[in-house]
Amino acid sequence: MVRKGKRKPRVNAVEPTPEEHTEPLKPTFHKQTIICIGEYPIKILLRGSLVEKKEEPLPIFIDKSSEDIAEWSQSSLNPDTILGLDMNIDTHFWFQVLPCIANDGAFIARLKDKPIDNLRGAVIASSLWDGVGSGLLPALISQFKERNTNAVAFGVLPSKMQPSDVHFNAFSSIGICVSKGFASLLLLDRDQLESYVGVDRRGFILKGNVIFNYLLELVSAKETFVQELSELSRAFDVRMYTVLSATGASLGIYGSIKNILDSALSRPLLKFDLSSASVLYVLLRVPLQGKTFKGKN
pLDDT in tens, 34-67: 999 999 999 999 998 888 877 777 899 999 999 9
Alpha carbons 229 and 271: distance in angstroms, whole number: 21
Give CA separation, 128 vs 137, 142, 170, 278, in Å. 8, 16, 5, 25
pLDDT in tens, 223-271: 899 999 999 999 999 989 999 988 877 777 888 888 888 888 888 899 8
Number of H helices, E strands in the chain: 12, 9
Task: For the chain, give every domain's residue range.
Answer: 29-245
In DSSP notation, 262-281 reads HHHTT-BSS---GGG-----
pLDDT in tens, 180-197: 877 899 999 999 999 998
Alpha carbons 145 and 182: distance in angstroms, whole number: 7
Backbone region of residue 75 per phi and psi (left: phi > 0; alpha: psi in -120 to 50; beta: other values): left
Q: Domain 29-245 class? A: alpha beta
